[in-house]
Structure 1
Amino acid sequence: MQTNKLICRLGAIGSLAIVSFTSTIVSADYPNVESGPVFDERGRLLQPSNFREGVFIGAPLTPHALNDGKAGFPEFHNVYVDRAAYRHFQRTGEWPEGTVLVKELQLVKKGTFDDGSRLEASGRGYFPDEPNGLDVSVKDSRRFAATDGWGFFNFGHHAPPYASAAEVAPAEACAACHQANAHDDMVFSDFYRQLTPLPTPAMP
């Protein structure tokens, strides 16, 4: 596949991987994903490219208007994951090593009612506006042993373009909340019902 030719050596580990979510190159360190994380020589995570071509698993929303104007995460959270990691989770109920979950924030269109909602052709509700940030979480039990096997990265809380690389966030910034509140393996999986396989259609 010619989508992305950027191949980088993982700093301390030295194995090959590729950033693109559409790659078919498999890292020796992450055999159950198609596009594992890539770190530079400083240990920073490189921004995943083409992440919108991964599996879209959900978009939770906690708008300011429903949280006294003080929502910690007022945007839609559009979450994507590598296809192979998604398939592995559906088969086993576990996220494989090298799973990369990408959360792109998306602003809510300005509301016209007190609760922040507005009227559109489909009815009254909350509707997405422009992208406004990029967060990424990576499962690597060895690299992130101190935070239950996951590292969290922020590539900017603003309109794109986002940063090309990011340092792992301090535990108190992200990991601690996931450790205390996440539903399954540091992931708020109950918010992503697309993780549940569809039942087999009945034969006509």
Structure 2
Amino acid sequence: MSMKRLAVAANHTLLIGSAALFVAGCTQNSATGADKSVAGTAAADTNVVDAGANLRVPNDYRSTYQTLGTWAIAADSGKGSKEMHIVYASPGAADAYRKTKQFPDGTVLVKEVYQTATSDMTTGTVSHPDKLKGWFVMVKDSRNSHPGKPLWGDGWGWSWFDAGNPTHTTSTDYKNDCQSCHVPAQATDWIYVNGYPVLKQ
């Protein structure tokens, strides 16, 4: 083979090799991006569930989780709200839900429950979060990974934590202590998704 043909063949091989590397690189980056949301929620799970399947409030949720929405609980009498509930979701959970209408396994939801303060302001009667009462934590577990554990079932781990004690739950049985409040949301996997605009496409 002549030197000219060798040079052309070498250049052709180099171009094919470069194209293959480019495609491989794009595929790898694409897969990493696609898996990021699920991996993020799975990683968050290790910060919430210990080896004994006990839940805790994640240390970093305010800086790393996404805010889903806030609920105002009307006062028993008079104007304003008696409580406000601010709900956070672990990284990637909202993105995954928008795509599939389901929370992936490992999703962590944290609800802060506040006692409120209510006063008259220029905009009218206003209530705002005042004193933290505690947290409600849920972890998605469609695989029933913890059979026999009284705080796990129906696709979730469930626990309430009093303010000041984020590592020890006062819940003893999810059906009695937690799930009863979620019965109206059973059709949407026990979560009141209608209150979270960020879950809508």
TM-score, normalised to structure 1's length? 0.64
Match of 2:84 among 64, 76, 85: 76
Any idea what the Cα deviations from partners look like across 1:135-164, whole Å, max 9, x if unmatched?
A: 1011112136773201211111x4xx3332
Q: What's the % identity of the aligned pairs?
A: 27
Q: Which amino acid aligns with 2:76?
A: A
Is the 2:161–2:167 contact (alpha carbons within 8 Å) kept by the matching residues of 1? yes
Match of 2:49 among 32, 39, 44: 39
1:1-204 aligned within 5 A:
31=39, 33=41, 34-37=43-46, 38-53=48-63, 54-66=65-77, 74-109=82-117, 111=118, 118-141=119-142, 142-143=144-145, 147-156=153-162, 158=163, 161-166=164-169, 169-170=172-173, 171-178=175-182, 180-182=183-185, 184-197=188-201
More displaced, 58-67 or 93-102?
58-67
TM-score, normalised to structure 2's length? 0.65
* Cα distance in structure 1, aligned partners of 2:39 and 2:89: 15
Q: How many matched pairs?
A: 154
Any idea what the Cα deviations from partners look like across 1:84-136, whole Å, max 9, x if unmatched?
A: 11111112111000111000111210x4xxxxxx3123322322212221110
Shift of 1:169: 4.2
* Cα distance in structure 1, aligned partners of 2:77 and 2:145: 38
C-alpha distance 66-97 of structure 1, shift in aligned 2 (>3 A): farther
* Cα distance in structure 1, aligned partners of 2:157 and 2:107: 11
Is the 1:97–1:139 contact (alpha carbons within 8 Å) kept by the matching residues of 2? yes
Any idea what the Cα deviations from partners look like across 1:29-66, whole Å, max 9, x if unmatched?
A: x6462412543343311321111121111111213335
Is the 1:153–1:168 contact (alpha carbons within 8 Å) kept by the matching residues of 2? yes
- Per the alignment, residue 8 of structure 1 pairs with none
* Cα distance in structure 2, aligned partners of 1:162 and 1:126: 26
* Cα distance in structure 2, aligned partners of 1:168 and 1:65: 25
Any idea what the Cα deviations from partners look like across 1:152-198, whole Å, max 9, x if unmatched?
A: 11111x4xx333243764112112332x211511101112222223x
* Cα distance in structure 2, aligned partners of 1:45 and 1:65: 32
SS in 2 for 1:153: strand
* Cα distance in structure 1, aligned partners of 2:44 and 2:52: 20
RMSD of aligned C-alpha atoms? 2.8
Structure 2, unpaired ranges of 5+: 1-34
C-alpha distance 167-97 of structure 1, shift in aligned 2 (>3 A): farther
SS in 2 for 1:46: coil
* Cα distance in structure 2, aligned partners of 1:144 and 1:168: 16
Which of 1 and 2 has greater Rg?
2
* Cα distance in structure 2, aligned partners of 1:132 and 1:177: 17
Q: Which amino acid aligns with 2:127?
A: Y
Structure 1, unpaired ranges of 5+: 1-25, 112-117, 198-204
* Cα distance in structure 2, aligned partners of 1:105 and 1:143: 28
Is the 1:77–1:106 contact (alpha carbons within 8 Å) kept by the matching residues of 2? yes
